[in-house]
Amino acid sequence: MGTLPKSVRFPLLILMLNLFIALLGQGMLIPILPEYLKLFHAGGTVAGFLVAAFGAAQFLFSPLGGQWADRFGRKKLIIAGMFLSVVSDIIFALSTSLPLLYIARFIGGISLGLMVPANLAYVADITTPETRAKGMGYFGAAMNLGMVLGPGLGGFIAEMGIRMPYFFAAGLGLVAGMLTLLLPETLPPEKRTLPQTKKKGNHLGKHIWSSFQVPYFKYLLLLLVMTFGLMSYETVFSLFAEQKYGFDAATISIIITMGAIIGIVVQIWLLDWSVRRIGEIKLIRLSLIMAPIALLLMLIKVNLVYLLFASALFFAFNAFLRPSVSTLISKNAGDRQGYASGLNTTYSSLGTVFGPLVAGLLFDKNLNFPYIFGAIMLLAAISLTLNARRSKKGLQTTSE
């Protein structure tokens, strides 16, 4: 955080700790879910629907989270999101039936739908256009680190009981909520937006329709297409590495962990430097070329070292993408940072919901198809970076 002013470092550090703990709790649940579902005599189909319920709730509530962050302030929404996350984990831990599991995951999706837009808006509030990419990079790194450490911690705690990681995740959520109380509010009352209308039809569909008119709409589309393509890698990688290379779970975990660590290094130490050198647009274009190349390299079966190299290449350029696009959206959002952050999360969650479904169907046809499809989607997204415009304030938000 060396280039960030002292007034920014403390709240950003608290925000990073908050996100780290929240995502650590989410990551802890991943390795034990298959075993946990056996208690309910359920398997992969139920797991898929649980993921879909989570993603659908996040999609539905992200627009509200963004609007409410502009209306009530960032801090209240972050605290509300953390509280709902705790409720979700407790219900999941105490569940004795599948309907309760679905309710728990839906509430968990609501929590992220409220919290993530507020977090993004908070980062935008405390950074300048020049330092925003660095702030977004730290934001992404904190989330990645939580997801990296979570699975190992979850497996360890599960030795004390299959339900214990869910209780532990709830406890971590409470800690994160307490940390949030230390954050100052960044949106003063005089800058908060009033409800725009109480007209009939002020709902999700109208919200999505209104997003077509915002000056950063093409960046929202870029986020959607990008997320859709990237999910082709994430959704089926374990199955791909097992069936194509014959690797066991331990080896696959090493590859994923190594890739996530590379992503953290890129977002903390290289993202800001790269943006200052070539600008967001050129960095996004470069990443949208190199990430597909990495996906296609994985289709050539060689050995573990080769796959590690291809995966490292993919993770490195993937780490540049989302913070850079989020920075562009934020720079073009003006005073409506919460609204823009809500749209950011909405379009991302759309890709997160539908990307895995397409990847799974393609994988059943041929294990190489998801990676070919992902590469095509990412390359196609380059067209959305053409004809970049300046923001209304005259700031050069892109670099051709």
Residue 172 has pLDDT above 50, yes or no: yes
The stretch 52-59 carries a mean pLDDT of 83
Residue 84 has pLDDT above 90, yes or no: yes
Residue 118 has pLDDT above 80, yes or no: yes
Stated pTM of the model: 0.78
Q: Which of 30-34, 39-43, 372-376 is most confident?
A: 372-376
The stretch 205-232 carries a mean pLDDT of 85
Q: Bigger pLDDT: 131 or 357? A: 131
Residue 236 has pLDDT above 60, yes or no: yes
Residue 392 has pLDDT above 50, yes or no: no
Distance CA 124, CA 128 (A): 7
The stretch 169-198 carries a mean pLDDT of 82
For residue 91, give Cα distances in angstroms to 19, 98, 154. 21, 11, 17
The stretch 131-156 carries a mean pLDDT of 81
259-297: pLDDT as tens digits? 878 988 898 889 989 999 999 999 999 999 999 999 999
Alpha helices, DSSP H only, in the chain? 6-29, 33-37, 44-72, 74-94, 98-126, 132-157, 164-180, 204-211, 217-240, 249-265, 271-278, 280-297, 304-331, 337-365, 369-380
Neighbours of 334 (CB within 10 A): 14
pLDDT of residue 281: 94
The pLDDT confidence band at residue 195, using thresholds 50, 70 and 90, is low
Mean pLDDT (the chain, rounded): 84
325-371: pLDDT as tens digits? 999 999 898 888 888 988 888 898 888 778 777 887 888 889 999 89
Closest CA to 187 of 136, 138, 123: 123
Q: Could you tell me the two tokens for 270?
A: 């290289």
Name the burial class of residue 24, with classes exposed (0-12), middle (13-18) and buried (19+) by CB atoms within 10 angstroms of its CB: buried
pLDDT of residue 317: 94
The stretch 316-325 carries a mean pLDDT of 91
